[in-house]
Amino acid sequence: MKTLEKMSQSEFENFIQMSISNFREELQKTGDFTQKQAETTTHEQINDLLIDGMNTHGHYFFNIINVHDHYKVGTLWLSINPDNEGHPVAFIFDIMIETGYRGKGFGRLAMQAAEQVAKSKGAGKICLHVFDHNKIAFDLYKKLGYIVEKNYTNKKGTRIISYRMGKNLN
């Protein structure tokens, strides 16, 4: 039984609304975005990324499944697209574990499954973005071998608000 299963169209529609809401909230938590700015930024990024919705080339949407009872415990959005030199690179745009299942290893299993999907599609590297205030996720990614590649600071440049992290898959 698989840890990741492809989402249906109706599941995607629910997922993307939740993803938009969560991203907007995360932007606001940085203290660098008003509610209106966060809404605008979120919708612009989603519209730019998903020009064909769920069917946008290179984007994959999964349910994270508890293999013991086949219950959906979360969701994952993975993309695989060429870098500037044409090499496939994977990017985890979103991973969400339902509250009652956090801290039980499902995030780790989903990340490992995402790495396997990325490798199977030829990606030699996988990256993600994590906000500085999400210490639990940041620590998990570090334990899984992800390293900080870039820091993003607030608009004043006085503090780090997020990181781009990456891991070589070769």
Q: Tell me the per-residue pLDDT of 24-44, one tens digit each, with 9 for 90 and over.
A: 999 999 989 999 999 999 999
Q: Which of 44, 39, 6 is nearest to 25 (CA)?
A: 39
Q: Show the domain range for 91.
A: 4-168
With a cut of 70, list the residues of the chain below it in pLDDT.
Answer: 1
Specify the pLDDT at position 139. 96
- pLDDT, residue 28, reads 93
Residue 146: per-residue pLDDT = 98
Q: Is the pTM of this model over 0.85?
A: yes
**pLDDT at 101 (0 to 100):** 93
Q: What is the CATH number of the domain that holds 24?
A: 3.40.630.30
Indicate the number of domains in the chain: 1
Residues 154 and 107: their CA atoms lie apart, in Å, by: 28
